């Protein structure tokens, strides 16, 4: 991927920060590599990307074995906030919310879907 594309994706991820309680986002390859991140510097994005890829992949396989289709998005609620995953052109976007925020989940999902469409155009 060209540097200009990575920079453009970085900007798109950054525009999500702060909306609907979003702390930051990661764009992750199917293998778990982080393509781009808008998360704060104190978060280990490499480990988060690798673990997110495993989590998404394992759930996708489980759904397929249950004859429920392929996984396109999922939302996990934890005591630390929300993790929302959204498939984008063979990659996926991981969105984290800040702890203790009131979240408009519908607004968060809509914003992620809209920005994912823009990212998908770059990824092809």
Q: CATH number for the domain including 71?
A: 3.30.450.30
What confidence tens digit (pLDDT) does each residue in 59-110 have? Answer: 999 999 999 999 999 999 999 999 999 999 999 999 999 998 888 999 999 9
Residue 5 has pLDDT above 90, yes or no: no
When divided into structural domains, the chain yields a total of 1
pTM of the model: 0.91
User: What residues make up the domain containing 89?
Assistant: 3-123
Residue 3 has pLDDT above 70, yes or no: no
Q: What is the DSSP letter of 76?
A: E
Helices 105-123 + 3-16 axis angle, to 10: 170
Partners of 56 in the β-ladder:
none
């Amino acid at each position: 991927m060209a540097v200009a594309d990575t920079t453009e994706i970085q900007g798109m991820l950054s525009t999500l920060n702060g909306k609907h309680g979003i702390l930051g986002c990661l764009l992750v390859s199917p293998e778990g590599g982080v393509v781009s991140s808008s998360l704060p510097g104190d978060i280990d994005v490499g480990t988060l990307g690798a673990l997110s890829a495993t989590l998404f992949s394992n759930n996708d396989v489980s759904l397929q074995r249950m004859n429920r289709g392929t996984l396109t998005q999922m939302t996990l609620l934890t005591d630390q906030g929300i993790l929302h995953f959204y498939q984008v052109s063979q990659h996926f976007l991981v969105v984290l919310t800040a702890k203790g925020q009131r979240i408009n989940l519908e607004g968060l999902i809509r914003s992620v879907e809209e920005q994912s469409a823009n990212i998908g155009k770059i990824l092809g």
